[in-house]
Amino acid sequence: MSPTKPSNNYQRIYATVRRVPEGKVATYGQIAVLADLPGHARQVGYALNALNDDTVPWHRIINAQGRVSQRSEPGWDGYQRSRLEAEGIVFSDRGVIDLKRFRWQG
DNA sequence: AGCCTGACTCGGA
DNA sequence: CTCCGAGCCAGGC
């Protein structure tokens, strides 16, 4: 068995993100843990950034504060929020999601 | 090979 | 509530 396989981690992250059901959200750290990569929350965000696949619901991934992370390119944060609201996710005035309510329990 | 950056998170001030 | 520093890994130059 190979001890470590970098590219394999990305596939595991994508597979985990695909498990997130509609109307629910997950944090980067949560995805990392579910993908069997605890502590690699950054890699999750990085993997999604490099992602170019519509089959992965990357818009359901937010930070641990329940807020949509600001992307490199402006405008996409608004797109992500719109997608989530379309699925029933509710944002507060500050743009914060109630994780207790919408967090996906893997 | 080395250095810098980035969709993160946590604890402390 | 906000701000700062440290730890983490992958990719580009």
In a domain, A11, yes or no: yes
Query: Does residue A20 contact residue A60 with C-beta atoms inside 8 Å?
Result: yes
Which CATH number characterizes residue A10's domain?
1.10.10.10
Dihedral class, residue A101 (left if φ above 0, else alpha if ψ from -120 to 50, else beta): alpha
A50 touches strand C (CB under 7 A): yes
In a domain, A1, yes or no: no
Q: Range of A29's domain?
A: 6-102
Burial (CB count <10 Å: 0-12, 13-18, 19+), residue A36: exposed
Q: What is the pLDDT of residue A2?
A: 46
Q: What is the pTM of this model?
A: 0.91
Place of tokens 């890699």: A43
A67 touches strand C (CB under 7 A): no
Q: What is the pLDDT of residue A8?
A: 82
Number of domains in chain A: 1
Tell me the one-letter amino acid at A25: V
Residues of chain A with pLDDT under 50: 2-3
In a domain, A82, yes or no: yes
| Distance of A41 CA from C9 C1′ (whole Å) | 10
Q: What is the pLDDT of residue A88?
A: 96
In a domain, A87, yes or no: yes
Q: What is the pLDDT of residue A5?
A: 58
Query: Other C-beta atoms within 10 Å of A17: how many?
Result: 24
Q: What is the pLDDT of residue A52?
A: 74
